Amino acid sequence: MVLWRDYNIHISIIFPERMSPIEILTLKKLMRKALIFNLMNNLNKIIRKAGMSHRELSERSGQSSNWFNDAYNNSEDITISSLAKVFGVLNEKVNISSYQLTDLFDKQIIQISSTLSSLVDENEQSIQTFILSQPSLFSDLLADWAALNEKNKLTSDEKLLYVDIQALLSN
């Protein structure tokens, strides 16, 4: 079976029995973007629950007033020290001991992380079987990638792979 794709005048062929190594690398990048996207969304929920705005959080953590808003909107991979500052500021407003790690690192994030780690064991002959073995996760990832695509946060290669995975899962 051969799937054809025409996206922005780029045509590629996916053979179900293999994907090229570059596509495995692109899949890792896409999954990492979804991981950060979900982490930032969960962090935003915690901030909102504390009744803080992005501006207030940014300023109280010693950053520019638009720092967190930019990091959130761009799904930036903030540093551990920045995350610690965020929780330090939040703790001034609400007792963060009432939060659990799963408020930030929920089931979806753990599943993406675990799957991303296991991609090391995959090769160009097994990657499609790998994707098809986890339809629920990859369906959720498609939704994340759609949101990132709407924000123009996917490269052209990532968009192409996103379309390929949609086609693969729909068969």
In the chain, where are the structural domains located? 3-51+100-170
Rg, the chain, Cα only: 18
Residue 107 CB neighbours (<10 A): 8
pLDDT beyond 80 at 12: no
Tell me the mean pLDDT in the region 43-69. 96
What's the CA gap between 42 and 65, in Å, rounded?
20
What's the CA gap between 127 and 21, in Å, rounded?
9
- Helix, coil or strand: residue 144: helix
pLDDT beyond 80 at 8: no
pLDDT for the residue 102: 95
Q: Hunting for tokens 């596509």 — which residue is that?
A: 23
What's the CA gap between 54 and 73, in Å, rounded?
11
pLDDT for the residue 121: 85
Cα 113–116–122 angle (5° rounding)?
A: 150
Tell me the mean pLDDT in the region 80-94. 95
Q: Hunting for tokens 């799957």 — which residue is that?
A: 115
Q: Kindly state the percentage of the chain with pLDDT values over 70.
A: 87
At residue 22 the predicted structure's pLDDT band, cuts being 50, 70 and 90, is low
Q: Alpha carbon 38 to chain centroid distance?
A: 6
Tell me the mean pLDDT in the region 134-147. 97
pLDDT for the residue 13: 43
Tell me the mean pLDDT in the region 112-129. 89
pLDDT for the residue 30: 97
Q: Alpha carbon 169 to chain centroid distance?
A: 19
Q: Which of 4-13, 48-57, 77-86, 141-150 has the lowest mean pLDDT?
A: 4-13
Q: CA–CA distance from 148 to each of 2, 69, 74, 153, 154 (Å)? A: 27, 16, 9, 5, 6
pLDDT for the residue 150: 96
Q: Which of 23-32, 51-60, 70-79, 121-130 has the lowest mean pLDDT?
A: 121-130
pLDDT beyond 80 at 40: yes
Between 11 and 48, the more confident residue is 48
